[in-house]
Amino acid sequence: MTQSQPELSPYDTGARCEPKLWQPNSEAVAEVMRSGEAGDIGNVDFTNDEDSTVVTVHVSRSDDRAVHRPPHADV
């Protein structure tokens, strides 16, 4: 009997960067808000298969529905 191999996603193969929220849950968001660093809420790192950040974007609700990429020194 042969077991079927699970299909690999683009995240598994490294073809697509994986999103990593700066605050992964509501408790982390509340802690950031208490610390006065609420500007970090909405930041998402996209990492490669070596878990290195490729780009950071800031996502927020707005009328223009835009996603903003904060400046990176090494981009």
Q: What is the pLDDT of residues 8-57, one digit of tens each?
A: 888 888 888 898 988 888 898 888 888 887 777 888 899 988 888 988 88
Show Cβ contacts of residue 9 under 8 Å, excluding neighbours closer than 6 positions: 16
Task: Tell me the whole-structure pTM to 2 decimals.
Answer: 0.65
- Neighbour-count burial for 18-47, b at 16+ CB within 10 Å, e otherwise: beeebbeeeeebeebeeeeeeeebbbebee
Return the bridge partners of 20, or none.
Answer: 45
**pLDDT for position 70:** 66
The confidence band for 64, taking pLDDT boundaries of 50, 70 and 90, is: confident
